[in-house]
Structure 1
């Protein structure tokens, strides 16, 4: 069987979609899975053994580009896919499989997709509270799964596979020390400072970790670089920290996160990457809720001091931080991190 997945456009969602690919492969080892997604996703898809081929989506996020989608669909007809599974809920995301004439086109009801999808699933959000459950449910026939309770347990979590040679190359490119403990910080957040733990808290935590003979490595995109610099400026020993935000491509960041002893992170795409790499991690949540998209790992410790979902884009502090994240003290994070490291200190392979 040959299946085309129309993948998500965000790092975290792409990571959670790996649970679907793993489930499809477990159910049918002979299946061929191709994933159409933005070009940047190839850095992640290449580390998912279940994916046969990644296909670049040349159309920008949010663009209809009807003619281009029609042409892409006609090109894909030559691949003779048996099924397409469409993960985004938008109408436009269902167009390419329709134009490709793929026999079975599966997805949640979403946005006016009658006819475009012929294996349409009505979504009861209460029945599938986690995004990963909604993805995995699409691996099964329509009548088999009515709620998350029907999904076979345990659920298959995302699990990236990183080549040791790639890790060594990335470590060499950025001269990361090999004889000390490395703690990764992911201080960025896609929707601004309201989802970020304050830079001064990260700096205070870094100083505590440096006293434990650790070095700090900061990961993120180019727009997170200023946050990383601010953390270093507030540290007592910035020479024990390297700010890689904006300096790595995604594949390098994945390789380097895999060799960290632990990660401290906001609710972000890199949080899901660290979870899929099996790194012990402390995930810090404020207005956003782990009830829908938690880190999918038994090595993750979530800290959140409020309940419910709060649609906040900017907090009340001068820097835009949300009070619920300001209230998470560095000592609490340090203690949780030390507990995690003690639990997983025998994990020397760093899968």
Structure 2
């Protein structure tokens, strides 16, 4: 949105007039001081007949006033020209910043100011603007990748549903029970993906009311809920830790913990795995740690797991692959609660995920 403003003087012209005005004022004060001195003391002039004392008034009118007027004219011209050049030199970095701003407004975020020279106010402004452009470019690129991935993920179940319906339409003798079961599975996946996207959007906008949440009780509730699921996968689920509280959304923190524990169960050593859920408090933060056994993971792979629609190698072809937003949602919820998410591969295999959140006030 642009604001309609009345045209005014440029900053360069304002600075030029300020420089010239200040120089004129300083010159005028100096000339007034000299004039007052001459008016009080008089001036001896020497001619062919000898030294003659001239009255102060006559001296001021005949000699000093024209000289003072000439000096003032010189100071005015010098102040305007010098001020214009100095103002242009001082404002040159601002022109580069303005050009970069207009370039960014036109859609090019790859442009950088890269203002040379030593650190000053303009250099700090240019560096801050370059940093903002870099962050904005990275954010938009991430959003574009997310939109492309989301479109692809949503398109897949819709395409499968269309294929199944086409088969049913062309082959009336096809087993409708099997068709309905497959459609239900595909539809469930589409619903799960849509709900995950909505949850991710809600967490990103921080549109929730903060309450005091006992994180240890949340961990116990999730462990109790997912215990049958862990048993079916042959995974032992263990909880421990201290009573710790944070401030945030109970629903979002429950979703965060559920995603972490569910992830740890699914991506585990089948039939012989273990998941540890631990809560603690240290260094001015409350900590939820979820750790599991499993395959050895490289730091490079672990660094990508919180990106939307990124899955570990073993996740893509399983029925429990999910929608690829589990850890992305965890990361977003953590950041919405002013927390820190850390993923570390375990030397013995598996993953350790640590969520550090600010403690509740008075907790």
TM over 0.5: no
Q: TM-score, normalised by structure 2?
A: 0.23
TM-score (norm 1): 0.24
Structure with more helix by fraction: 2
Q: Which has the higher contact order (CA 8 A, sep 6+)?
A: 1
